[in-house]
Amino acid sequence: MKKITCLLALLLAFAMIFSFAGCGKNPTESSANESSISESSVSEASEVESNEPFFVFVATSDLHVDYGVQKFDPPIRPSTLDAFEDIKALNVNVMALLGDLTSNTTGKGITAKTYDAVITTITENAKAAVSSGRVLFVDGNHDFVAGGTKFNSGNYIKYMTETCGEFVDSIYQQNIDEYVDEGDEGTIEHVLGFHYVIDGVDIIGINTPYEGGDKHSDYYYYPESLEWLDQTLAKIGADKTVIVLGHYPLSDSNNIYNASKGTSNTYNTDDLMHSTLAKYPNAIYLYGHDHGGPKYKKSSDERMTFYDSEGEVYEENVFSSKTETEEVCDAAPGFITAFVGSMAYYDGALGKDDYHCVQSLLISFYKDRIEFQIINHKEPATGGIQDLPKVTVMRDLSQYVK
């Protein structure tokens, strides 16, 4: 028994010596080091997370399928298809096409069969450019009656609800039947406004009303559309960032070709747009339409307009720093508008050829900021297009990050 006791004592002593000396570590030090490593890993993970966008959005506008393009196989410009291929690599959550996707300005018209082929080509290729298949649409002044009065936003309504689900809210044009030709088959639907929440981000679209004719030269939204916009923004709340999609710039937007290209005051549209958006300083209004002239040479900040709390253009410098690759705004004074680029820039008349440049606007949401970046999908044959600096607007978006 004594031998066993001595043996146990010897083993216990050996174990104590090994634990303090054999491993060369103090147990307390080991625990502290492990804790330090764990905290460092967490810190690094948090840093990586904060430097990755939680929501990525891309928009472009003005495909203008007509002028002979409708006879292509498929009926779309090759440069547009190339741009959609580029967008695949951007890994966006959702894409928006902001109007004038079709055209009917040549006087020859487009048959219903051709129109259906054009819409199918646009929607299917846009869907393929986004891994989620989610694409939003608003219409422009050239979209109407391409293919007869068969045109209506119902084509896009169906597509959006199939890929993005039912609207959170919407408003439809009630007087649409007044402008439908006798003999047209089917029900014409035209949505004037829609609201989605996609991956936690609120997105609102507002559409040009249809009042007959093959194009609009007066750029307005219905008063009921803007009243609905105001009510929808109020429900969302002024503290949240909201993307608002439309076709037309405001009349005082930066680098607009001329004021007549912006929203008119038919139905008091321009005034109502300013006064409505001014209530919501975190709103971002995106538009197309103004793609004539050498707009493709303008940098991201030159296509953005910052407004004050009264809805007036903010004249003072909003950027705290500028480099060749980035311009930083520490705090936007109010709502922001931005041109999204175009699939069909032109210096003269529109036509069936590929254009000088093809661009889109990439918007990335981070925990502490929003980045705006014009993407060049095609450069002019003459060159001269540089990588455009991004615009970073600092903003606390932590409420969106789980």
State pLDDT tens for residues 162-200. 999 999 999 999 887 777 665 555 567 789 999 999 999
Which of 51, 67, 89 is the C-terminal boundary of a domain? 51
Cα–Cα distance measured from residue 49 to residue 70, given in angstroms and rounded to the nearest whole number: 45
* Residue 190 shares a structural domain with residue 47: no
Q: What's residue 18's pLDDT?
A: 38
Domain count, the chain: 2
Q: Are residues 142 and 245 in the same domain?
A: yes
Residues 35 and 135 in one domain: no
Q: Are residues 59 and 103 in the same domain?
A: yes
The residues, ordered by sequence, that sit 6+ positions from 218 with a Cβ below 8 Å of its Cβ are 264, 266
Question: Using an 8 Å Cβ cutoff, are 61 and 291 in contact?
Answer: yes
> Are residues 134 and 37 both part of a single domain?
no
**pLDDT the model gives residue 4:** 41
Residues 204 and 284 in one domain: yes
| 3 state DSSP class of 66 | coil
Rounded CA-CA distance 103/65 in Å is: 6
> 36 lies in which domain range?
24-51
Split at pLDDT 50, 70, 90, the class of 109 is low
Residue 245 pLDDT level (bands cut at 50, 70, 90) = very high
Same domain for 41 and 96? no
Question: Is 346 within a domain?
Answer: yes
pTM for this model (two decimals): 0.84
Residues 213 and 349 occupy one common structural domain: yes
| One domain, residues 297 and 214 | yes
Same structural domain for residues 45 and 66? Answer: no
Cα–Cα distance measured from residue 283 to residue 217, given in angstroms and rounded to the nearest whole number: 27
Q: Check pLDDT > 90 for residue 387.
A: no
Co-location of 210 and 152 in the same domain = yes
Within-domain flag for 1: no
Per-residue confidence (pLDDT) for residue 183, from 0 to 100:
52
- What is the pLDDT of the chain when averaged over all its residues? 80
